[in-house]
Amino acid sequence: MKERNARRASSLPVWLSAILSAASLGALGGWLWFNEGSGATLAFASAVTGVVVAAVAIMSRRPLFAALSACALVGAVVAVARLKRAADGMVLHAWDLVQLLVSPGDMSAAMREHAGAWLACGAAALVAGALLALVFRFERPVLPRPVAAGATALCAAVAAFSAGRLPDPGHTQYFWDGLYLSAFYRSFGETTEAVWRGGLFERGGAAGAPLSPAAACSLAARPPHVLLIHEESVTPPSLFPGLEYDHSLDPFFRSEDGLLHRLRVETYGGASWLTQFSVLAGVSAHAFGSMKNFVQPFMTGRLKETVPQILAGCGYRNMMFTAWPKQFMGVARFYESIGIREIFDQKAQGNVNENERDRFFFGNALREIARHVEVSRQPLFLFIETMSAHWPYDVTYEPGVDVPGGAPGEFPEVHEYLRRLAMVKMDDDWLRAELARRFPSEAFLIVRYGDHHPMATRLLDGLPEEIVAESVHLPPDSPAFTTFYAVNGLGYAPPPPPAVDLLDAAYLGAILLQAARAPLPASWRERLDLMRSCGGSYWTCPDHEKILAFQRRLADGGLVGAR
């Protein structure tokens, strides 16, 4: 009895525990209110956090300890999410926890790269742990477990109800929306799906010999310099029956053979990184299921025999010209990992706006080509992003430039988009003229592709006018995914593109390598076989098992890291 009374005397008074618990939960609720959106998103984040509080209360029967444990958990998630976002452009995702379990080296590399931040987090964790230990020691277990269990059930019900009403996370929530907590909570669903299928990358069962990395490349003759031009938001206006436009645009979309070659991409109105991934990696972003929006950060360091890596193995010097900062969505880490070691980003190029005229980025590329050919015979691979056709279309881009737009009575956004296309063509003509004038003795292969439809074409595709890129869900074979690719030469005669009515983006890298007459590794020869047998389709191939079997062989050969 004396010992029990002594413990009670040294314990935290119940009234003080109640006040501190309420204050802690109030502060946590205030943080959620100001940082986790509104509506279903706020309700979901709050309810899941409430489940944590109530679950800890069931085990400990200590309300203050439970409240402070939830505060510590939220603080840890937000701190790590901020640190991760600063490092690779993406907030904390549940798959990161899986990667740390199956790939301890990833954690070691992350800790070495950001040692100071991790030490600060570790120190904060020690302080929080010590505080929680003290609270657990001095707070009396006074909360009835049935009450805590009821609170858990109520919060779980609210979480389930609000989860079914969450807005589409879209392409960018995990990159810059800043909803650190709700994004982390909801990522457990897609992570569970990925774990269930055995990893990020979907693949079939046993499918024959693995596709192993190829031997060293050997070029029989001096190859052409290769320019791969990512045409932001560009699609041929000829794809829209009844649209009146200036047909002088049409030659821009044609290849050396004088034909328009249609390309099927996997995103609409945004998320250009999905098309870039499919083109350069040679696999569909759809192969990653609901995790496809994260293929670049999650597949960093996990790809072999990408287009840039093959060209680098053949002696090419690889460069990228991007309108964005290197840290944007982890651009530098991903592209460096697939063989593009030199990245000229916004800082290096000096562009004030992301959507500078295409001529601006072409001019920077031309200057770098000039510096290179003066001192080296090494072939160049340049991956150039353009941006002038990018939205918004409710403002006039370069109003002083007199170019054709849409016919009288056309949707204003479509009219403006057609103006942008006219400037895109002008700058492309300028690039070719400058290449011919400045480098008459050099050979160039120029491959261009449209990365996705602009949002302006929703008015032509029959989509609701108020729809946005983040909320567009279309079947993979929708015409709204059709853009173009073009293969042209300058001082160089590339072989004609294949006679395929509609080519999936995952095959475009094979077309580029074939057009450059680079030796094709077995994995890329296999892609060409698939292209022929599937009629140009990849993910929607009628014999889908062929695709899954191919992806199994890529994974088994270590060309695509499956986990």
What pLDDT does 3 receive? 46
In angstroms, rounded to a whole number, what is the distance separating the alpha carbons of residues 180 and 93? 9
In angstroms, rounded to a whole number, what is the distance separating the alpha carbons of residues 395 and 323? 20
Tracing tokens 């919060």 back to the chain, one arrives at 155
Helix, strand or coil, per DSSP, at residue 262: strand
Strands 342-344 and 261-264: unpaired
Q: What is the number of residues in the chain?
A: 563
Q: Which residues contact 108 (CB under 8 A, 6 or more apart)?
A: none
In angstroms, rounded to a whole number, what is the distance separating the alpha carbons of residues 417 and 393? 6
N- to C-terminal Cα distance for the chain?
Answer: 58
Tokens at 424, concatenated: 């895109």
For residue 102, the tally of other CB atoms under 10 A from its CB is: 10
Work out the widest C-alpha separation in the chain, in whole angstroms.
99
Residue 385 bridge partners (DSSP)? 230
Tokens at 499, concatenated: 């006679």
Cα dihedral 200→205→209→210 (10° resolution): 10
Domain boundaries, the chain: 2-196, 225-271+304-556
CATH class entry, domain 225-271+304-556? alpha beta
Q: Closest by alpha carbon to 276, among 229, 242, 310, 313? A: 229
Spans in the chain with pLDDT lower than 50: 1-7, 9
Q: Which residues contact 332 (CB under 8 A, 6 or more apart)?
A: 326, 343, 345
What pLDDT does 563 receive? 66
* 474-479 long-range Cβ contacts below 8 angstroms, 24+ apart: 474/268, 476/266, 476/286, 476/539, 476/540, 477/264, 477/540, 478/268, 479/239
Tokens at 251, concatenated: 């030659």
What pLDDT does 336 receive? 94
pTM above 0.85, yes or no: yes
CB 512 within 8 A of CB 308: no
Residue 482 bridge partners (DSSP)? 264
Helix axes 39-60, 145-163, angle to 10 degrees: 160
Residue 12 bridge partners (DSSP)? 139
Residue 450 bridge partners (DSSP)? 231
Strands 444-450 and 225-231: parallel
In angstroms, rounded to a whole number, what is the distance separating the alpha carbons of residues 389 and 431? 17
The HSE-up count of residue 391 (CA atoms within 13 Å, CB side) is 19
Written as one string, the DSSP assignment of 431-491 is HHHHHHHH-TT--EEEEEEE-S--GGGHHHHT--TT--GGG----TT-GGGEEEEEEEEES
Tokens at 521, concatenated: 């590794």
What pLDDT does 259 receive? 96
Helix, strand or coil, per DSSP, at residue 537: coil
Angle ∠(544,550,551) on CA atoms, nearest 5: 95
Residue 503 bridge partners (DSSP)? 263
What pLDDT does 558 receive? 92
Q: Which residues contact 237 (CB under 8 A, 6 or more apart)?
A: 243, 245, 249, 418, 421
Sign of the CA dihedral 274, 276, 277, 282?
A: positive
In angstroms, rounded to a whole number, what is the distance separating the alpha carbons of residues 377 and 78? 50
CB 552 within 8 A of CB 207: yes
Residue 319 bridge partners (DSSP)? 342, 382
What pLDDT does 85 receive? 82
Angstrom distances, CA of residue 292 to CA of 305, 321, 436: 20, 24, 40
Consecutive H or E run containing 282: none
What pLDDT does 107 receive? 58
